[in-house]
Structure 1
Amino acid sequence: MRETRIHVDAPLAAGQQVRLPGGPTQHLLGVLRLAAGAEFVLFNGDGVDYRARLLDADRRGATVAIEAAGEVEPVPPLTLRLGIGIAKGERLEFALQKAVELGVAEVQPLFTERTVVRLDGERLTKRAQHWRGILIAACEQSGRRRLPRLAAAARLADWLGERQPGGLLLDPRAERALSDLPPPSGPLTLLVGPEGGLSERERAAARAHGFTGVRLGPRILRTETAPLAALAAIQALWGDFRTTPA
């Protein structure tokens, strides 16, 4: 039976009682249909799961007792960061969800030359809130105790100019495969384009900023498939697919 895990944006500690806001309360009562006395897990992204028991609830919120704190989630052997071109429809949402399941520590949505989605102002704010909800839900499902960081959406050129050089650029035209590369010595950034990929000018800019182009076999993968295949391969080569879970 899958363990019920609920994210709450609040400090947590064993022995305290917490009043949950409407969102988590609705999930506990309306979706999971838990009753007073039910046990579940709370987490706030600090790396720890907290055993909790539902005391009472109404339309305004639920009161829970935190009974114990679990072990701290181990720091992964490889910190993975994903820069991904904003795609339309559910493609980006799918990629975000699965990237969390695959252990990415930071997500950077990017506006590129071939991004067709137009977002700014209030629309962008609402979409960013939606993306954060996807990251949280993926953590709840996958058992992650640390919440990945969602960076503010940025233009690719601005992002390249503001960050430290280096990373991997997914490019079906590249000559090198992941297995041709040495293990990374620090955090690893993966850059993936939207539908249609990055333009030649953007690929050149990324390479000029220290990105190494890599291909994933002989096939051209869709924008929601490519980062997931790459993240899984990276984890298998150098990351926590090689380690025993704590």
Structure 2
Amino acid sequence: MSRRFFDDQDFQAGQVAELGAAASHHIGKVLRMAPGEDIEVFNGRGGEFQARIDSISKKAVAVEVLSFNDVNRTPPLAVTVALPMIKGDRMDYAIQKATEMGAAQIVVLDTERCEVRLKGERADKKLAQWQAIAISACEQCGLNIPPQVSGVENLKNWLGSELPDHRLVAHPGEQPFDPAVLERGASLALLTGPEGGFSDEELSAARDAGFVPFALGERVLRAETAPVALLAALWAWLG
């Protein structure tokens, strides 16, 4: 499999395209690839392009776009993963792995028991960092449509927004989820809690918003582990 690179532009087969700064730096400076090498490029709008490196300069990499492959490798269920702010690199891990597991959208929430709080410019910088992590994860795993990472949003405000019809909230001690209600091609909101869990008030608000509490086994998962494990369970249930 050729190395894959994201670049936000309209590629056209049969044309030479100059890649943006991020992709050019990765190809020319980090990987030290050479003209003539085959790669894949995608722009996040669906599908991927087979390409060949045409030239490498100090400023940019140019590629010859050879052909288009209309494939996205998306899972059979569009899942919005809503997870709390998690401290340090564990948040990066959660974003990366949720993307690899096929989350269609990722929403970062502020809950009562969050380990960290972000606002203003600091939050904007973190969101940009997490979006870049999601894109990098797509380059690695083969997805062609990166999830949009949004937030940081207050949990109660998010619960009052327009959400998918199917809604699940992970909470220890609840009954196992019945996968029979899932439908291929449908959409689902999957809400997971912080290290300290949801408060009684938050869990009640989630129930009032139509979220069905469920547990995945008898163990209490860490905040960064829960989204990944639950997505894996969803795909196993759907076969």
Instruction: Tell whether the structures are fold-level matches, with TM greater than 0.5.
Output: yes
Displaced runs of 4 or more, over 4 A: none
CA distance in 2, matches of 1:183, 1:12: 40
**Pairing of 1:75-154 with structure 2 (within 5 A):** 76-154=75-153
Q: Over residues 165-205 of structure 1, what are the superposed CA-to-partner deviations in whole Å (9 max), with x where a residue is unaligned?
A: 6511000021x112x34332421110011221211111110
Q: Over residues 37-86 of structure 1, what are the superposed CA-to-partner deviations in whole Å (9 max), with x where a residue is unaligned?
A: 11100001122110111111222111111011113326642111100011
CA distance in 2, matches of 1:184, 1:153: 28
Q: 1:130 to 1:149 in 2, by over 3 A?
A: same
CA distance in 1, matches of 2:157, 2:92: 23
Q: 1:120 to 1:33 in 2, by over 3 A?
A: same
Q: Over residues 75-131 of structure 1, what are the superposed CA-to-partner deviations in whole Å (9 max), with x where a residue is unaligned?
A: 642111100011111112111111111111010100111113221111111100100
Q: 1:16 to 1:152 in 2, by over 3 A?
A: farther
- 3-state SS of 2:86 partner: coil
In 1, are the aligned partners of 2:28 and 2:61 still within 8 Å (CA)?
no
- Letter of the structure 2 residue corresponding to residue 228 of structure 1: V
Identity %: 38
User: What is the Cα-based RMSD across aligned positions, in Å?
Assistant: 1.5
TM-score, structure 1 as length reference:
0.91
Bigger mean CA deviation after superposition, 13-22 or 214-223: 13-22
- Letter of the structure 1 residue corresponding to residue 169 of structure 2: L
In 1, are the aligned partners of 2:73 and 2:142 still within 8 Å (CA)?
no
**Pairing of 1:11-26 with structure 2 (within 5 A):** 11-26=10-25
Aligned to 1:170: 170
CA distance in 2, matches of 1:227, 1:166: 16
- 3-state SS of 1:152 partner: strand
CA distance in 1, matches of 2:74, 2:232: 18
Aligned to 2:44: 45
Quick check: 1:70 aligned with 2:53?
Answer: no
Aligned to 2:210: 210
Aligned to 1:190: 190
Aligned to 2:233: 233
- Letter of the structure 2 residue corresponding to residue 172 of structure 1: P
**Paired residue total:** 236
TM-score, structure 2 as length reference:
0.94
- Letter of the structure 2 residue corresponding to residue 73 of structure 1: N
Give 5+ residue unaligned stretches, structure 1.
none
CA distance in 2, matches of 1:120, 1:130: 15
CA distance in 2, matches of 1:92, 1:197: 16
